[in-house]
Structure 1
Amino acid sequence: MATTYKVPMHRVILALFLIAVTAIAATVAWSFNSGLTWTGICLIAVAGPLSIFYWYMLYITPKRAAITVAEEGILLAAPPFASAVIPWASVEKTFEANLKTDEAFKIIKAKKHMSFGGYKSGVVLIKDDKEAVIVSNRPDVLCFQTADRVYLLGPSDFEGFKEAVEKTAP
């Protein structure tokens, strides 16, 4: 039986983003004393598209991120930055790690990566130029080491994820 774990952005980050957009829009509207027409044009031309883009990047993209634990292995789907299938046969070692305190997992270089407000998703290089795939919204992660790369996964329900891996992994 497969179990799916979500990796959304924290709600506080989304709320702060909406407050910032509202404050910027109010400042723009207040600063333009030239009339409602020009203020509306500026808000529609600049603030609207930027808000939609950032809302997509901060809400929609992380909301689609999911880690599925199945009998065959782990299915990782965090488009557009990371996607992978990790068969249990390819996993050499599984252990817990902390992205903030473990020096071995400090990001040296990002290949395709998004990191904002605690949410991390993508492919990076870590110590000793090892390639790592990170999908997490927390500092503590479960590390899956394979021959070619390391997978650092930390969904919202971390304890449930660990239990599912312990039950399912051979």
Structure 2
Amino acid sequence: MAKSYKVPMNKTVLTFFLLCVAAVAATVTWSFNSGLTWTAICLIAVAGPLSAFYWYMLYITPKRATITVADEGILLSAPPFASAVIPWASVTKTMPVNLVTDEDFHAVKTKKFMHFAGYRSGIIEIKNNQEAVIVANRADVICIQTEERFYLLGPSDMEGFSESVNAGMSQMA
């Protein structure tokens, strides 16, 4: 039976973002004494599109990120930065990793990657020029090693995810 795990952005970050948008809109409105027309033009032309873009990057994109653990393997979906199908037969090793303290897993080079306020998603190069796909909203992740790359996965429900991965690995043994 398949079980999905979400990897959303921290709600504090989203709340702070909305407060910043409100502050920018209030500042623009207050700073223009030349009339409501120029204020509206600036809000519509600048603040509106930028707010929509950042809202998409901070809310919509992380909200769509899911890690599904099934009998066949792991399905990783974190568009537009990372997606993969990891069959259990290709997994050589799993281990817990801390992205802050484990220097072997620090990003040396990034390819398609987003990192903002603890949320990480994309493809990176780690030490020894090895490729890693990362989707996490936390520093402690499960590293799933295959022949071709590492997968560093850290959903919100880490305990449940860890149990599901261990159950999937025990099926293959």
Query: TM-score scaled by structure 2?
Result: 0.97
Q: Which runs of 5+ in 1 are unaligned?
A: none
Partner of 1:147: 147
Partner of 2:167: 167
- Is the 8 Å Cα contact of residues 120 and 135 (structure 2) preserved in structure 1? yes
RMSD: 0.5
Q: Report the AA paired with residue 111 of structure 2.
A: K
The aligned length equals 170
Q: Deviations over 1:50-107 (max 9, x none)?
A: 0001000000000000000001100000000000000011111100000000000101
Moved over 2 A (4+): none
The 1-side partners of 2:19 and 2:109 are apart by: 32
Structure-to-structure mapping, 1:10-159, within 5 angstroms: 10-159=10-159
- Is the 8 Å Cα contact of residues 113 and 124 (structure 2) preserved in structure 1? yes
Does 6-15 or 19-28 show the bigger shift? 19-28
The 2-side partners of 1:116 and 1:29 are apart by: 29
- Is the 8 Å Cα contact of residues 65 and 78 (structure 2) preserved in structure 1? yes
The 2-side partners of 1:65 and 1:130 are apart by: 23
Structure 1 SS opposite 2:47: helix
Query: TM-score scaled by structure 1?
Result: 0.99
Q: Deviations over 1:135-161 (max 9, x none)?
A: 000000000011110000000000000
TM-superposed CA distance for 1:48, in Å, is 0.2
Q: Deviations over 1:8-48 (max 9, x none)?
A: 00000000000111111111111111111100010000000
Q: Which runs of 5+ in 2 are unaligned?
A: none
The 2-side partners of 1:15 and 1:110 are apart by: 28
The 1-side partners of 2:167 and 2:123 are apart by: 27
Q: Report the AA paired with residue 83 of structure 2.
A: S
Structure 2 SS opposite 1:92: strand
